[in-house]
Structure 1
């Protein structure tokens, strides 16, 4: 059945739907271009900006400087002397063979102590 062109219609009935959809899409596009973004001030809900971690160089902890203390009984004064001589920021003791805490800190001196309280090893990390 042929579609007859009726007077007063510019497009045939099937083409009118396509034209209407195109006009609707164009008007939405233009409306989106004309809207101004709303001003949103910074609030406490905004996460803080990222911080950059500086990794200290290996010179910050020199475990070889603690060799003088191997075999000695550990006391707080000796531990502080070892920390100072190695140039580390902090020091901790642990039992021989105990796992190191995660994450490792290259600026920390780890001192291994046997059950009798004698220093068996010193390492950074």
Structure 2
């Protein structure tokens, strides 16, 4: 009798596994049988995005660096000035030094006296 009880358990377990597999297979085939939604090909594409070019005069606003006049220049202050003026880069120049001809309007140039104090700021 013991053998029949074990075989009954095995058959019941196999039946539940088969039922689960049959259920999964029917769900899989039902998903494959759904038809895609018909979308006709049209030329009505959305327009491409528009990119705005900022004029070069507005790329750097040197007037925003006035707060630093007279202060001793260090790297942290130079980075704060660059951020506040909206410029892409910053550099220092000794007072009265001529700058190279190709000036970059997106760059902040900070004039520094021999003692290391800021005397002016300009774009270029």
TM-score, normalization: structure 1?
0.55
- Give the secondary-structure state (helix, strand or coil) at the position aligned to 1:58: helix
Change (3 A) 1:71 1:104: same
Aligned pair 1:112/2:111, yes or no?
yes
The separation in 2 between residues aligned to 1:60 and 1:102, in whole angstroms, is: 19
Instruction: Structure 1: give runs of 5+ residues left out of the alignment.
Output: 1-53
Residue deviations 1:26-62 (CA, integer Å, cap 9, x gap): xxxxxxxxxxxxxxxxxxxxxxxxxxxx885211100
Residue equivalent to 2:75 = 76
The separation in 2 between residues aligned to 1:62 and 1:99, in whole angstroms, is: 21
Residue equivalent to 2:33 = none
The separation in 1 between residues aligned to 2:93 and 2:54, in whole angstroms, is: 24
Q: Is the 8 A contact 1:62 1:124 kept in 2?
A: yes
Higher helix share: 2
Query: How many pairs were matched up?
Result: 72
Aligned pair 1:91/2:90, yes or no?
yes
- Give the secondary-structure state (helix, strand or coil) at the position aligned to 1:120: strand
Q: CA RMSD in A?
A: 1.5
Change (3 A) 1:55 1:101: farther
Instruction: Structure 2: give runs of 5+ residues left out of the alignment.
Output: 1-52
Tell me the CA shift for residue 102 of structure 1: 2.0
TM-score, normalization: structure 2?
0.55
Q: Which runs of 4+ in 1 moved over 4 A?
A: none
